[in-house]
Amino acid sequence: MQLRNSSSRYGWVSIFLHWSVALAVFGLFALGLWMIDLDYYSTWRKDAPELHKSIGLVLFAVMLLRVLWRFVSPPPPTLESYSRMTRLGARFGHSFLYLGLFAVMIAGYLISTADGVGIPVFGLFEVPALVSGLPDQADTAGLIHFWLAWALVIFSGLHALAALKHHFIDRDATLTRMLGRKA
């Protein structure tokens, strides 16, 4: 399989970034839902949020890399069989996923740095608190983070259903291209 994207399929870098982000998003969502119900006496009460923050910051770096990679190796063009509405829907959907992911991660950062303390990443280094002390910063960012995470997971599910619809009903190459196969 090729490293870079071609006119007919995605390369392995794009495929790896796509599926890594998908796995991280659903994993972070599940971890987030689980950790908000931890009580004071849970052994994971401190470790789960630290893990969530570390993975989230690594995901932020991966998303920056993913955006850069789109410029280095542009994705294949949309299929000729797509209607105008399908093209617009795909453009809107991908834009929402990218912007929504960055927004949810920035909100998470604002929650974590509201008290002026940086965020340790797996104990290896610390991301400094550049923005802190805004009025109701943690609460406002927390609400945005929570609801946007739900929106992203629901929309990601719809994104997956659309890919399956293209594969099984339309019988086009939308999904096979993201699996590294020729269109």
Residue 114 resides in a domain: yes
For residue 171, the domain's CATH number is 1.20.950
Residue 6 resides in a domain: no
Task: Please write the tens of the pLDDT for every residue from 39-91.
Answer: 999 999 999 999 999 999 999 999 999 999 999 999 999 999 999 999 999 99
The pair of structure tokens assigned to 172 is: 């086009």
The pair of structure tokens assigned to 65 is: 């890399």
Give the model's pLDDT for residue 183.
Answer: 62
Quote the domain boundaries for residue 41: 12-178
Overall domain count for the chain? 1
